[in-house]
Amino acid sequence: MTARTIADALIEAPIVTSFTKFGYEARKRLAGWSALDGYDLTDHVIVVTGATSGLGYAAARQFAKCGATLVLVGRNADRNKEVVAELVASTGNPSITQVAADMGDLRQVRQLAERVLADHDRLDVLIHNAGALSPERHEAPDGTEATVASQVVGPFLLTTLLLDRLAESAPSRVLTMSSGGMYAAGLTVSQLQMPPETYNGTEQYARAKRAQVTLNEMWADRFGHLGIQFHSMHPGWADTPGVDASLPTFSKVMGPLLRTPDQGADTLVWLAADDEPLGSNGAFWLDRRTRSIHKLPTTKRTDTAERRGQLWDWVTGAAGCGVPDLEPSARSAGSSS
């Protein structure tokens, strides 16, 4: 174990040091991170959902600075177009377009995929970043609870519809922005969607984020051999409009300690641009290092092969799509360390 690894582990143990700007700054100094401006992404086509605000906006701006061809996704076409104009003006990169789509509306997700396939003959990076913690319960057009629809089912459908283009563009990457909130949630498919009587936004969000990181590992197991890298991550705690709106008290109390959006998005951009993530598949990252997907024995116990199979079957049905059912590789369920 190197001194750097030991120091990182000491930072990781208490969540408050790990998730705040303290963790980011300490790890950056310890590891001597490469500067994101140094990456040349001129040949890369990158799709970013949730690019109109917060972490997605910060990542999109960095990708634009690095010369990537970008497709930005948000729900409102006017807002999307404002962001495209801002980024073209501030970075000088003209290769930025937008598609309006609600990731919880499967019809719109299908239209999004059609646009990407029609407009781009390659796809290097697909980023599932769109997300929100909703204090009130909503439902997507098909009746699925909205957090699960927009952060689990919609992204699953989009990956499925773009899988062939990703494979043709290999080595390519599918990156998912999860949350440290998922550490509190176990894996139970029957309780993935909370009913109106017991709905709690924080709990619902954690369950959806747990499903995201589990599916990320399953995608890697099943489709990694196509040359597609699947990685998920969490950004720590960053000061974004989303956090301000959904957790105002937390945002106020923690304000000075929160990461900037650029700091929260750093690992996302690095996962898209650096060669190091190509050396593994299905990993979960924070601050450019792989992390365990479980911190509690109680959640680890819920992460069984049987439940993973149930999750895959459920989401395939909910997305209304069939994906080739290939044999998983040797990875055992919940085996990340």
- Smallest distance from ligand NAP to CB 107, Å: 13
Interface with ligand NAP, residue 76, by CB under 6 A = yes
C-alpha–C-alpha distance, residues 186 and 206, integer Å: 9
Interface with ligand NAP, residue 18, by CB under 6 A = no
CA angle at residue 205 from 204 to 209, to 5 degrees? Answer: 120
- Smallest distance from ligand NAP to CB 80, Å: 7
φ/ψ of 151, rounded to 5, equals -115, -10
Q: Is the peptide bond before 297 cis (omega within 30 degrees of 0)?
A: no
Any catalytic annotation for residue 205?
A: yes
Interface with ligand NAP, residue 79, by CB under 6 A = yes
Place of tokens 């999750």: 311
DSSP annotation of 326 reads P
The DSSP string of 254-310 is: HGGGSBPHHHHHHHHHHHHH-SGGGG-SS-EEETTEE--S-SSHHHHHH--HHHHHH
- Smallest distance from ligand NAP to CB 146, Å: 7
Q: Read off the tokens for 232.
A: 């998920």
- Smallest distance from ligand NAP to CB 65, Å: 18
- Smallest distance from ligand NAP to CB 98, Å: 10
One of 27, 65, 75, 120 touching ligand NAP (CB under 6 A): 75
Stretch that binds ligand NAP, among 46-54, 165-173, 188-196, 297-305 (CB under 6 A): 46-54
Bridge pairing between strands 172-177 and 228-233: parallel
Stretch that binds ligand NAP, among 89-97, 162-170, 235-243, 291-299 (CB under 6 A): 235-243
Is the distance from CB of 224 to CB of 282 less than 8 angstroms?
A: yes
Stretch that binds ligand NAP, among 156-164, 190-198, 231-239, 316-324 (CB under 6 A): 231-239
Stretch that binds ligand NAP, among 51-59, 87-95, 186-194, 312-320 (CB under 6 A): 51-59
Residues binding ligand NAP (CB under 6 A): 49-56, 74-76, 79, 102-104, 129-132, 150, 177, 179, 234-235, 237-238, 240-243, 264
Q: Hey, which residues are catalytic here?
A: 205
